[in-house]
Amino acid sequence: MTAEQINRVNELSRQGLGYKRIAALTGIPANTVKTHCRRHPVGGGKTERADAYCRQCGKPLTRQPKQKPRRFCSDACRMKWWNAHPEQIRRRAWYTFVCPQCGEEFQSYGNAHRKYCSRKCAADARRMGGGKGD
């Protein structure tokens, strides 16, 4: 695998995706993905899902309180990544939404049916809307 593929596998693995899913998304054989993930477990298992690594260079990101989690360490990395992955835009694996609760724009991976940016917002909306049932 190229360094870029490894980055991508690590990234997807951190998001909790299985080998098959990662293989399908990256075009890398599932066995290769599996071997790689076994040899290089990310973030020490499923309990601690690190969300703060640059997708481009893999550098850990410092997350500022009250700030949206970032996916790139810098604009340069962001540009590089999107330039290198134009198919990701067209494939529409990332869906962009505006959270009706807090008004923040957010993205969801491979899920076109998300409505709120977070569980908290969904819960808030339900509470404020006096949701029926539940």
Residues in touch with Zn ion (CB under 5 A): 54, 56-57, 59, 73, 77, 99, 101-102, 117, 121
In angstroms, give the least distance from the CB of 56 to Zn ion: 4
In angstroms, give the least distance from the CB of 80 to Zn ion: 8
SS3 of residue 103 by DSSP: coil
Closest CB to Zn ion among residues 9, 23: 9
In angstroms, give the least distance from the CB of 38 to Zn ion: 26
In angstroms, give the least distance from the CB of 124 to Zn ion: 8
Buried b (16+ CB within 10 A) or exposed e, 41-55: ebeeeeeeeeeebbb
Pairwise CA distance, residues 96 & 107, whole Å: 4
Closest CB to Zn ion among residues 7, 26: 7
Q: What is the DSSP string of 12-78?
A: HHHTT--HHHHHHHH---HHHHHHHHHHS-STTSSSS----B-TTT--B-PPPTTSPPPS-SSHHHH
